[in-house]
Structure 1
């Protein structure tokens, strides 16, 4: 009976050690995650008085490392979304017309998300921002 208990304890040690590491891969490095901000962003932009309505749809994902960072981004989701909606609404037809300007928008969006995280969590946390889809009309 004593040997059986010792064997069960020995078998359970590796499992509990793995459970404590949570968001880590096999090598011990933190796991990279992409947090999709859902639902996609949809709204108007370039409200310059012209009769034509300009609409955008953006599917955004944020790259973070570790389970704690992923949880922090999910916790701050409403504030991040608010900041990005305000940024997208400020855009003009020219700022969304070519690849270079969309890349500038992506970098500005990343900067603003990092500012939100820095203010709320004490560090930028988000490593990159990706447009999985960006449609403008």
Structure 2
């Protein structure tokens, strides 16, 4: 081994009050940067400085605004069974129907006039041919004709069309 020994030199430590001054300056600079960034990015806008307009709160304003009344579905009590002719033969057809109405009043009226509605729909269905029922366009045409028949019948009795749509919920052709 060599006769040389390692000698460690001591680095003088900064005095405690000097550390506190440096830490205080760094903290105030950091706080200043944060405040400037906050004001720049999320600072007060013109909308925040405007006084809030007084609005009167009423019972009607608390209810959700609905463009139309809620939809209700009125099922026909039994499916429609009828014979359709075409292609040189007769086929048995069964269609389940529900009516789309808006509001409780229209729902009540539709339920009240179920026999009248069934008559209008069955009259329309009995004119259908197999060719018409075999295509999607034909079924859509039949649905629209049934809607017109129902609306016409209800308009004569109630003075307004109550039903918005006629929906086929089941369709079987044998």
TM interval, short-chain normalised: 0.7 to 0.9
User: 1:92 corresponds to which residue?
Assistant: 129
User: 1:68 corresponds to which residue?
Assistant: 105
CA shift, 1:33, in A, is 0.2
CA shift, 1:94, in A, is 1.0
Larger Rg over CA atoms: 2
Q: Which has the higher contact order (CA 8 A, sep 6+)?
A: 1
Point out the structure with the larger strand share.
1
Structure-to-structure mapping, 1:123-134, within 5 angstroms: 123-134=160-171
C-alpha RMSD of the superposition: 1.6
User: 2:156 corresponds to which residue?
Assistant: 119
TM-score (norm 1): 0.73
Moved over 2 A (4+): 26-31
CA shift, 1:93, in A, is 1.2
Structure 2: which 5+ residue stretches go unaligned? 1-62
Equivalenced residues, count: 109
Structure-to-structure mapping, 1:1-137, within 5 angstroms: 27=64, 29=66, 30-46=69-85, 50=88, 52-137=89-174
Counterparts of 1:27 and 1:74, CA distance in 2? 27
User: 1:14 corresponds to which residue?
Assistant: none
CA shift, 1:53, in A, is 3.3
Counterparts of 1:53 and 1:103, CA distance in 2? 21
1:57-81 deviation digits (Å, cap 9, x = unpaired): 1111111111110010011110110
Counterparts of 2:157 and 2:117, CA distance in 1? 10
